[in-house]
Structure formats: structure tokens, C-alpha cells
Amino acid sequence: MTTTAPRDEQLWSRCDGCASLLYRKRLRRNLDVCPECGSHARLDAPDRVAQLVDPDSFTPLPERAVRVDPIGFVDALPYPHRLSAARTGTGLDEAVVCGTARVGGHPVALAVMDFRFLGGSLGCAVGELITRTAERALADATPLVLVTASGGARMQEGALSLMQMATVSQAVAGLREAGLLTVSVITDPTYGGVAASFATNTDVVLAENGARLGFAGPRVIRQVTGATLPEGFQTAEFLLRHGQVDLVVPRHALRGRLTALLAAAEAGRRVPVPRQEPAPRPAAGADAPAAAPGPARDAWETVRTARHPGRPTTLDYLETAFDGFVELHGDRLGADCPAIVGGVARLDGRPVMVIGHQKGHTTAELVARNFGMASPAGHRKALRLMRLAARLRLPVVTLVDTPGADPGVAAEQQGQAAAIAENILALSVLPTPVVAVVTGEGGSGGALALAVADRVLMLEHAVYSVISPEGCAAILWPDSSAAPQAARALRLTAADLCRLGVVDEVVPEPRPAAHGDPAGAAELLGRAVTANLAPLLAVPPATLVRRRRQRFRRFGAARAADLNVQRDALRNGARTEVAQ
Ligand SMILES: [Zn+2]
């Protein structure tokens, strides 16, 4: 916002976005967001702190900025003169304000950059202060929140400024090792060395509406390449589309989003990590027979039910079976795949990381979500969230509903096979409980990329298969019209897979199926996941991983004899349970 004539300065401001003349008090009440056009004016660090943290909870760090002029830099003015002018102009010691505070009742260590101070540039003192803030977070075992606003590294301190990117990053790494949440809040503008270090190497990256972030600024890119830059280049929305940030958040929602993330991280830390293996006891439902299936259906009919457009999707379950979902976007490498959704949510009061395939109910929704077929970016987003969950000690719940991974040309170019392979590997050693639920179609490798779990559940009318019945029929039968026969032959129903030991438990659906009573289906799903998750929380991570690997080890040929017994049971149409 540009203030008008000095006499009116305290009363009126002109919006940089729409040029409206705004009553200053009204603007302040609206968090310096223009009520006319929604433009977010830049905030200085003290105002930002006041908006973000609980009242009276901010305590500045005792450390003062050190005065440094390491290389005796002089341009039109000696560097110390510029520093003095910045100090006078802002009332700050340096381009960052650091301290501890509470946000929504949760303790944090907080560093907030101020663009007014030499363009928020990152020099030795700023690097030192942010590093001290991270060290304080580590000492207090609290999350770290960094609010960035910077043109980049401070030229006047030469290569020592460049080193600050590494100094702060190694402190962020320390928090990562300790399983403490780090969040950056990108504000306008965030560029250069700050963008290429602690603004983006944190666990969660939130971008405020209207923020721009990039390594090189638009002017430099135009000069170097001569290219015309696309509309909205480097804006928050552009970054979201290209997988660079988790969320774009309007200013008034920042506190709420931060609070939800901090609550999830705090809950993960409250649960003590079990060191001793508990006395062996059966996992939930291991003794009980799988939920009594309804009247036997033909496998092809089940395939059609599993694909019913009214069947609840992952986002439906997140609305109904879970609470407080905060979606996290992007693979941080260039894309945000719409066929995979994920983020933190609560299940029965406990924070979990939920990751699932997303289809849709209408043709438009299905097209927008690529029919639930994940791209390599989708698998990489899932991988990022799995690893984040493990660091924060949050259990992972996956909801599987995909015809298969995206079979397109671009997906192949971007390494679809390797992306799936990496997820299977990562899940098999993930040191946190994982419960997978096949809710609709469990199609091939795309499904398995989310289903290497401690407990694998399957909805009563879901299917899980190495290939679609149509695909199988086209290859092994004269033509794809033999899909119903192929469906029967593939043994892809929940009851069949339970007998084969691929699935641990069948989750019953309301009659006739989930699409007839989505709320009822959500309740049954929530109950089943909660029951299966509870015993896993008492298992030390190393034991979890060992058991999970054993679980999948047993599908090897050494178990062929057992599998033959199961095959005979299937052939006889026996409904008897086969001992695991
Ligand atoms: Zn405006």
C-alpha cells in the first residue's frame, strides 16, 4: 500500500492492487488485505509477528545481531552506512526478527524476515540469527516457523553470505533428524539464496496469497533468455500448480493452517516411541473371521460395483470418516498430480497422514483427476508425505482406488516405473505404522505403490488385481468381451484375497454397497482403520518394519505349498478361513 500525502498518512492508504483509497484503520483490521481486491500488502516483521502468534506470547531471542562488514564492501556508500540507514529506517537490528511464541496454543520458535531492511537480504548476521532460532527449536523440542521475505543473499558480505544458505540449512537438517516440524511461510517476495535454501527445504511450505518465489528474478530471466514469461510466472498459484508449495493460504487463514499443522506434529511427539516389543498378541481382527460377507456376488458384478461412479472417493472419506484435513500439495520437483491427494487429518481424535487416489463422481471430476491414475509426480508427492509422516511419527493411512498408474507417454518419460518402485521400497522400510484400505479399484502396481502396509484392508465390494479384467481378457482370451470370465479367474474380490492372505480384513459395506449409503460406509471404514491402527501404535518402529517385510516376504515361492492349499480352497469354493 502506498500512503498518500503525509498529512493524511495515518488515515488513508492507496491499494497497490486496485488503487482504491482505503481507510487505514479498516485496512489494518483486515490484516492489510485490501477489502476491495484482496491484494495482500507487504507486512513488516513486527506486524507479521503480531498477526501470526497468540497475543503476548512472543519473546525475542536474547541474541543481538552482530555488526559485521567482513569484506569492507563499498559501492556508492560504504556498507556500514547502508546498515545504519536500514537500522534507523526500520527500528530493527537486522532483516529478521526472531523469538519464541505460541501459535494456537502450540509453542514454536519463529524467525520473521523484514523486506524493508536491505531487501530482506541474507547476510552473516541474519544467517546466524535464524540458525540460533533453529537451535532454540531443537533445544526446546518445538517446531520451527520461518516467514521469508528476501531478495536473496547479501552482496555486501560476498561469499560469506552464500555460506549462510548452508549454515541455516544444516540447522534445518538437525530439526529434520530430530523429527521436529519445520514450516516456511513464503511471503512476497522470496528470491535467490533464501528461496534456494530454508524457504523451500522445510517439511511444509505455505505460500501466502500473492507471494512470488523463485531462484532467479523475472528481470534476470528475461535478460538472460530473452524469453517472454508466462502469465502469473512465479506467483503462489503458479508454484502450487508446479508442485513447489504445499498450500496457498490467504493471510486471514494462515494462523489456522499453522495451528492445524502444529497440532498434528505435537500429537506425534506426545505418543512415546515404544522401545520394548510388547508381549506378542494378535493384531486386531487376526483371530476373528473376516467380516461376514454378504451373499456371494459374481466377480464381474463386484468389478462393476467397485467402479460405480457414486462410490465414495478419498476426498469423500476425508470429509466423513476423518476430521480437520489439511491437504498438502506437490512433489517439489515440478508438478502437483491431481490423482493423488494427501495431508494431515484426524481419525478418532488422533492425527494421521492420509494419502489416497482421487477419482470423482462426474465425468468432469474424473477427467480433472485423470480417473485416479497417478503420474510419477503423484507417486513422488505420496513419497514425500510418507517420509514426512515418519519424521513426525504420524501413522499413515492410505486409501487405494485406481484403475492403475497413468499409462501415458509423459508418465513414461518422467519415470513412472521407477517412481512406483521407489514407493514400494520406501513403504517397506517406513518406520511408522501403515494401514492401507483398498476402497474401490486396486489396479496393479499403481495400487501397490500405496499398499505395502502393516495391515491391508479391503472394502467388501472393492477389487484388487494384477491387471484389469478387460486387459487380461484381451491378452489371454480371444477378445476383451471375455472380461467377466477373466474377472472370475483373477480371484480379485475381497473374500478371495483374504483367503490368499493378500488382504488381512474385509471391511463390510452397507447394503447394497457403499454408493447407496456413503455415510454408513465412512463409519465402517473409520472404525476398521481405527481398530487396526491401535495395536500397531504400541510396536517399536524397528519391529514394525521387520514384520512388514516378513509379511511381504511370505508371498515368495517358498510359500508355494501353502498357496496351493489356498488355491484348492478357492477352487472348492470353500468359504472356510485359511490359517495365516
Ligand atoms: Zn485493492
Residue by residue, what is the 3-state secondary structure of 378-402?
A: HHHHHHHHHHHHHHHCCCEEEEEEE
Tell me, what's the pLDDT at 291?
46
Could you tell me the distance, in angstroms and rounded to a whole number, from the CA of residue 218 to the centre of ligand 1? 23
Per-residue pLDDT tens over the stretch 169-183:
999 999 999 999 999
Burial environment of residue 64 by CB neighbours within 10 A (0 to 12, 13 to 18, 19 or more): exposed
Could you tell me the distance, in angstroms and rounded to a whole number, from the CA of residue 34 to the centre of ligand 1? 5
- Residue 116, CA distances (Å) to 58, 89, 120, 380, 382 in order: 21, 8, 6, 37, 38
Q: Which of 106-115, 277-286, 321-330 has the weakest average pLDDT? A: 277-286
Per-residue pLDDT tens over the stretch 116-168:
999 999 999 999 999 999 999 999 999 999 999 999 999 999 999 999 999 99
Please give the single-letter amino acid code of residue 24.
Answer: R
Could you tell me the distance, in angstroms and rounded to a whole number, from the CA of residue 10 to the centre of ligand 1? 18
Could you tell me the distance, in angstroms and rounded to a whole number, from the CA of residue 122 to the centre of ligand 1? 30
Torsion of CA 89, 93, 94, 100, to 10 degrees: -120
- Residue 369, CA distances (Å) to 310, 407, 491 in order: 15, 14, 28
Residue 572 confidence (pLDDT) above 70: no
Tell me, what's the pLDDT at 64?
83
Could you tell me the distance, in angstroms and rounded to a whole number, from the CA of residue 19 to the centre of ligand 1? 6
Q: Using alpha carbons only, give the angle 289, 294, 298 rounded to the nearest 5 degrees.
A: 115
| Cross-strand partners of 397 | 354, 435
Alpha helix (H) residue ranges in 226-298: 236-241, 251-270
472 is in an annotated binding site: no
DSSP letter assigned to residue 559:
G
Alpha-carbon 199 to chain mean position: 16
Could you tell me the distance, in angstroms and rounded to a whole number, from the CA of residue 214 to the centre of ligand 1? 24
- Alpha carbon distance 265, 351 (integer Å): 8
Q: Write out 446-508 in H/E/C secondary structure.
A: HHHCCCCCCEEEEECCCEEECCCHHHHHHHHCCCHHHHHHHHHHHCCEHHHHHHHCCCCEEEC
Give the full edge-to-edge strand order of the sheet including 12-14.
2-3, 12-14, 21-23
Residue 547 pLDDT class (50, 70, 90 cuts): very high
Average pLDDT score over residue span 350-356: 97
- Residue 35, CA distances (Å) to 43, 51, 254 in order: 16, 17, 17
Residue 71 pLDDT class (50, 70, 90 cuts): confident
Could you tell me the distance, in angstroms and rounded to a whole number, from the CA of residue 193 to the centre of ligand 1? 30
- Alpha carbon distance 372, 462 (integer Å): 15
| Residue labelled with grid coordinates 482403520 | 529
98 is in an annotated binding site: no
| Residue labelled with grid coordinates 483367503 | 499
Could you tell me the distance, in angstroms and rounded to a whole number, from the CA of residue 236 to the centre of ligand 1? 18
Could you tell me the distance, in angstroms and rounded to a whole number, from the CA of residue 30 to the centre of ligand 1? 12
Tell me, what's the pLDDT at 283?
46
The 3-state DSSP class for residue 347 equals: strand
Tell me, what's the pLDDT at 578?
36
Average pLDDT score over residue span 458-462: 96
Length of the chain as a residue count: 580
* Residues ≥6 apart with Cβ < 8 Å to 511: 294, 517
Give the residue from 497, 463, 466 showing the smallest Cα distance to 580.
497
Residue 70 pLDDT class (50, 70, 90 cuts): confident
Residue 1 confidence (pLDDT) above 60: no
Give the residue from 53, 47, 238 showing the smallest Cα distance to 143.
53
Report which secondary-structure segment, H or E, holds 126. Answer: helix 124-140
Could you tell me the distance, in angstroms and rounded to a whole number, from the CA of residue 33 to the centre of ligand 1? 8
* Helices 376-392 and 251-270, axial angle in degrees (round to 10): 60
Per-residue pLDDT tens over the stretch 293-348:
555 689 999 999 999 999 999 999 999 999 999 999 999 999 999 999 999 999 99
* Helices 45-52 and 251-270, axial angle in degrees (round to 10): 60
Residue 10 pLDDT class (50, 70, 90 cuts): confident
Residue 395 confidence (pLDDT) above 90: yes
